[in-house]
Structure 1
Amino acid sequence: VMDQLYEKDMGGGTYRSRDPIKNFRIKISLQRLSSSTIGFLAKSTEGEPTSAQGTTTTTNQYGQTIMESEELTVHWQQKFFSQREMEFYGFEPNCTSVTDYKYHAEVDKLKKGSGRPNNRIFSYVGNERFASLEEAYVTITTSDKEMRTELAERIMEVRRRRNGRLSCRGKSVAGMKIVEEKPTVEFQQNHHVLTTPVHTLVIMADLSPQEQLGRAEFERKICTVEFDDNSVMRVTPDFTGSRPPYRLEEGGLGRDVWEFRIDHVSNSVSKMEAMREAKVISELYRKHQVYLKSLVSAKFEEIPERVFRLNVYGEVVSAQSFQQNDLHVEFLLDVPRDWSCDPAQLLSGCTHTCRTTLVDDVEFAYFCQPFHYHMFLDMENIKEFEPLEWPRIFVHVISSDTWGRRRTEGYGYLTIPSTPGTHTYTVQCWRPLGNAGYPAIAAELRRFFIGGNPELEDISYVAVPSTFEGNRLNKYGVRTESTGSVTIKFNSILQCKAFKDVSASAAVSKKKLQNAFQLMKGKEKSDAISGVMDAFHRARKKMQLARENIPLEIRESAQKIATTKQQYTSAENKNRMGEDGTPLAHNIQIS
């Protein structure tokens, strides 16, 4: 029955607060009770004194005799000394650190004054001397039979990583070694740390007999408050609130029973201050939202009616299987006719120089160089039976070394994907060898010793030269050598209002893209036909208005003339027909 009077859940609670941690207050209520009850009393008798053999005692609402009680309100990182600490820090030769001398001065001040404001409840702040001893007794698991191992002791030495940034100059950190080959135990304690700094406040209780205060074996941890840089607070165990108090049992001759409560007693914010704070926060959020809208427009950019837009976000991933080391890639966008782009947009780019690394017996050079292009196609300039040219990307792989030798490792090109989505392509490269015979041998020797080799004057020759105007292109006789390859990744976005009439799907296929182009061309034809019909209707309307403005006498005379002419024409046609209704010319016999 007694177990139902106490809270068994000793788990912690996690809270997040935007207020300064210096305003935090916590109250600890500690009571020593008798080990037996004298009957359950009503709540109305709580705290009433009872007499037994002339001795005045106090009982709680459950009939337990309260032998001793103490309440203490602790501020954040406020230090309260225990009896053991008063004796230790009161003797100056025990002090060895700055914190020890600071506590020595505070203890002397308390001794000269009114003494300690607390009796059994005290606190540990941060990593002080006795707090580290308390943490040393913390086990790794919840088992009572746990045996401490060397690994557990090593793990207990791990501290938390600081968030401060190191000032770097060049490729090394000034004044320190980045890698320590043989770290000492002290070095590990100072540098092997966790990620988020946590500030700790530990509240303890001295449960030793009254005449023996200050014995370390009777000290027990009541509450731990942790607060990190993310404004997250963890209280273990959690605030009592409306739940029953927590219980501690201390072994001894009397088997004393202790109960304690943990209450949050920070000063609450007034209604006026809360409204003012909410107003400031809402104003801050509003300004931040306006700032974000200034960076990113609230509406999507629209394109004209008969314009097709191609957005390409790509990346030169890597180059592999080339002969030399220290590679970089120069790339160029070829914009065909009928296409256009922003004049301020750079159509060429260059990666950084990268040394190759061996992966599965293949030399790889990783660049991860991003690029993006935005191109427009005017559909009015497209002819119906003429093939549509698509933009291409030319690549030029070059190697260089510390001697200043520069060599062309390969050329290649790739047509930008015509379907939206993510695509990864490998561009096979080649390099020209020049003329056969002695010039080819001299070119190879020059390439090996001093660098330099035959290059293309116009990189568009890799595909179709920009100066070519014929119908057939013959590259027969050009001596080349296959080299390596370049991997390029694309993410294409197609934007056109004609896509609204194409059936919706997860991705627009090439056939649907052609249908969209045809649909756009059909719209152009229908627009031309509708223009002719509009002109015809306007002319007809003008004719009707002109007829209505003619005088009535002229219209009646014109109608009479038209009726007389119609009667004369019908009589003439009747005279030309025979009796059987056939024309007279058919009855003439030619002899």
Structure 2
Amino acid sequence: MYDFNSNNKLPGVYWLKQPIDDLKLKIKIKPKASAINLPKYEEFMNISTTADLDKIETEGIDEYVFKWQEKVFSAWEIKTYSDVHNCGTETQLDHHNALNTKEYKPQKVFTYIHEDSYLPVPLDLNKFQNQRSNFNLLSCFENLSLTDTFRSFGGSSSLHQLFRSQESVIEKSSWISMHVVFDDSTYTNDTQLLIKQEYILLSLYYNTTDNYLIISPDVNNLVQNPYNVSTENCSANFEYGVEIIFDESESDQDLVNLLNKLYIKWQKKHKQMVKFIPAPTGKEKFHVNIEIVSANDFDMDNIYIEYEIKIPENFKCEDILHGRTHISKANNGDRFWTYGQIIELDIENDEEIELSPLQLYLEAISLDWWGRQRTEGYCYLPLWLIPGYYNKVLTCSLPEEVDKVEANTRRFFVGGCHLIKDLEVLSKPQLQNTNFTYTETGNINLRYSVIRQVNSSVEVAAASSSSGSALLQRAELVLREYSRAAASLAAAIKHIDSAYT
């Protein structure tokens, strides 16, 4: 969407990769609350779909989306620009014509575009400093007469000439501005303006020369880092969040094609650079690739998967054996979450030692709107190191306390409790506690592949012996041919000698 130089990142400054016309602004506003409002216990127990969760998360939040340079009118602007006698500039006349051709509703959150000239644009400081260094200060003192009396800036005094000289140095930069403003003005019943009061929520300045955007204040999150606004006339003060969105453009396909071509070239070059490294003699290596593909049919939303892999004692593995996926959100309440998390393991083992399976433990965890984490289910897979490609669908089970009322209450307020202290309980059912029962919840889909690489000492000895015998056979064949050639040469010399005599 947008990018910035990580070595020189300034707050609110973004270098654009897409056209500025694709930019959209999203402002989220909600009333400021003194305490966190939680849903009632009965409402929470009736939640069955992700659509209900989304309704709770977005309740009381107003969203406003604006396009770049989109003009949205406030109540006093519509009242003012509807009368042509109040329009003295070309921009105001354009607003008057727009109001006559299309019906606009007054908005509490409206915009000032660049043509409104609401606030001055930033100055190009580098250009100003360069030009200021060339400014001859001595010429200013020559024009400044100490005998002249001080007069207003409207006269022709030397001091006025000095200020005019400084103003001529500063040139306007190539900036385009836009402002999002909250209207807190006081009106009569017939929309007559009594007290004009405005609060700037967001200001954007786009530099057309260097193609970067200044956002003030910077992008934030309404839940984690809201901006607070205390108004004078509005009875309920509010807080808001800022988000920048870019539309998907058709030119992205050209970038995808370019990346595919670069990837093909990289593969060809990579094949020439990579050299095959055999396994040590008497050892066997296993290359295991595990992919956590997706999950489905869990009760809550915003789910991530934690995994832990236990290696047998006689195996050697230096890779990371525990981690987690990203948080996935279901689309349109279909109760399906995608991940594509890859786990790669390189395992080494002595050839004489009998193989044992890897222990793969998975835990599905949900995150609600208040930041509480809940276990949605556990599952276990004994992964045998047999070469091949496999697909697995693992059914998760959730331990529950015998007292259902106490269990549901604890799960609602604190997210439940960890009834399983050691994950080996999943692989050894005899260690399970009888104080709770297991209930099937959802499924986790896996794909994994196993590649075995071995360099056996018996095969090496056989190969060496076979190569030695082949070498001896070739030497005997060469000696036999040499003897025949020597005999033929001796017979030929004897025949020549007898003929000469």
TM over 0.5: no
**TM bucket normalised to smaller:** 0.3 to 0.5
TM-score, normalising length: structure 2: 0.37
Name the larger-Rg structure.
1
Structure number with higher relative contact order (C-alpha < 8 Å, ≥ 6 residues apart) = 2
TM-score, normalising length: structure 1: 0.32
